[in-house]
Amino acid sequence: MFTRGRIELRFLAALAVLTAGGAVVLAQPWCTPQNARDAGYFWAYHYWACAFDALSAVCGVGLTAGDIGDGYTSAGRWVLVALGAAGALLYLSAVLAALRRIGASLAVWAAPRTLHVAATFGCFLVVAVAIGLVATRFADEPPAVGAVAAESVAAACSLGVFPRPASESTLLAAAVAVIAWLAALGWPVWFFAAPPLLKRHVQARHALLIAAGYTAMLLIVAWMIAGFETPRGRRGPAHDSTMLADQPPTMRFARGLTQAAAAAGAGVPTEDLAERSVSEGTKATLALLALVGPATYAAGGGISW
């Protein structure tokens, strides 16, 4: 247990150790393959990039020095996901330590043990993988099980990066949105799967209020996105267009809700934001939503985009 005055120092020390260890592992050829010329001339940049990616994964920032799809092997992507999960647990442990200190000083509330939250988080990761696998099994060309599992864990930990764009598959985007929504609610809602922990540490009414308030925020943002994407003038016929503005109102709202949930909880875009498929108002709204992020009790602390 962290003691008074040492929470921040231990958190930073653990963050540094986890980042350094992750950088060393990511630099190995079985994670980030390099040819002999690059390994000889650009070794310093290679280690710097691996350290940057490791820190980004641990903090859930969602930035990588290179392309996560081409620059990493399957094992390397799993290392990034594992670093994200470890960073999420590290963040949760620091939050719980702070809550214990506040609760002890006020003598009104006892925060749950880190082990209990970690076990609940592990069960949630299993549920997230199951959601991803079930959703993508209905696709015309189901992706590899390992890839779906890694993407599901990345969404649950709010890693902020994906080996492949979620906008490529409607089913994958929907799965990411559901996982992100559950992840953003945090352990007070996860404890509903463990009634003894829920009864001891959480008021069910308080947890339901968190879920209702967060869901209402996502619905409001989805309504705003649907409004931003409403056509403002006469438009010609759209032939198989995937642009959000060319969709019927119900589809605009549904896709806006999917994007809002994925942005806030997982830090992953489900629309092709790099192209002109959405308006600048939608992009600004999603940027603000990503800054707000999930609830304090969620594992994905920090900014993810």
Nearest to 162 by CA among 255, 266, 65: 266
pLDDT bin (cut points 50, 70, 90) of residue 163 is low
Please state the rounded mean pLDDT for residues 80-92: 90
Task: Tell which wins on pLDDT, 162 or 119.
Answer: 119
Domain boundaries, the chain: 1-111, 112-305
pLDDT bin (cut points 50, 70, 90) of residue 221 is very high
Please state the rounded mean pLDDT for residues 269-278: 77
How confident is the model at residue 304, as a pLDDT? 43
40-56 per-position pLDDT tens digit = 667 788 889 999 999 98
Give residue 158's Cα distance to chain centre.
Answer: 2
- Report residue 9 as tokens: 């120092």
Residue 204 · residue 114 · CB < 8 Å: no
Q: In angstroms, rounded to a whole number, what is the distance separating the alpha carbons of residues 148 and 56?
A: 21
Q: In angstroms, rounded to a whole number, what is the distance separating the alpha carbons of residues 11 and 229?
A: 43
Q: What percent of the chain has pLDDT over 90?
A: 19
Residue 155 · residue 266 · CB < 8 Å: yes
Is the model's pLDDT at 107 over the cut of 90?
no
Q: In angstroms, rounded to a whole number, what is the distance separating the alpha carbons of residues 233 and 275?
A: 21
How confident is the model at residue 1, as a pLDDT? 45
Please state the rounded mean pLDDT for residues 133-139: 84
- The region of weakest confidence among 82-96, 182-196, 205-219 is 182-196
Residue 157 · residue 87 · CB < 8 Å: yes
Q: What percent of the chain has pLDDT over 70?
A: 84
Q: In angstroms, rounded to a whole number, what is the distance separating the alpha carbons of residues 163 and 142?
A: 15
Please state the rounded mean pLDDT for residues 133-159: 84
How confident is the model at residue 40, as a pLDDT? 61
